[in-house]
Structure 1
Amino acid sequence: MAYEIPVTQARAELAELINRVVYGGEHVVVTRHGKPLVALVSAADLQRLEALREAEGERVVSSVSAVGAVSSAPGEQRRFGIAAEHRGPETRS
């Protein structure tokens, strides 16, 4: 669980909070009016978070790129007031 501290107190104790994060392995959540504002995490934790985000983005891209052309269900164009349809590139002989 993360240690929570109001922003006004965090300002006064920044050096101590940095030590808690770096040497104590803690996560510190800075709050304003009781609501989370920012979090202090170690640089190593930040690198892990960024790697997870990057891996997740790659999974989404591969999933989306695997989706082929999808045609509208009959009547959907009328239902949503769509007047045109994209048919893709035409092949010419």
Structure 2
Amino acid sequence: MAYEIPVTQARAELADLINRVVYGGERVVVTRHGKPLVALVSAADLERLEELPEPADGEVVSSVSSVREAGGAPSERRRFGIAAEHRGPHGS
């Protein structure tokens, strides 16, 4: 999970953010008006990203054709401390 910070605050804390990325292994997303603007990642992360193959033009990402709703077994709800469940717009 990346740490998000507004650009105005990031400007004032740049040295600290660099340390968090380099020594803490964090990824920092700098935002403007709540929207991601840039990301600070370690040089090692950047190198790994650059080694990824480029997607071919027109390559389509496959999607799941159907999704079934999870039943939410009572034992699983208790196990994870879930007190509520989502029901569809018509209570289903």
User: TM-score by structure 1 length?
Assistant: 0.58
User: TM-score by structure 2 length?
Assistant: 0.59
Structure 1 runs (4+) deviating above 4 angstroms are none
Structure having the higher helix fraction is: 1
Task: Specify the alignment match of 2:35 in structure 1.
Answer: 35
Structure 1: 5+ residue runs without aligned partners? 62-93
Larger radius of gyration: 1
CA distance in 1, matches of 2:46, 2:34: 24
Once the two structures are superposed, the pairs formed by residues 53-92 of structure 1 within 5 Å of their partners are 55-57=53-55, 60=56
Structure 2: 5+ residue runs without aligned partners? 58-92
Cα RMSD, aligned residues only? 1.7
Percent identical among aligned pairs is 86
| Amino acid paired to 1:5 | I
| Amino acid paired to 2:6 | P
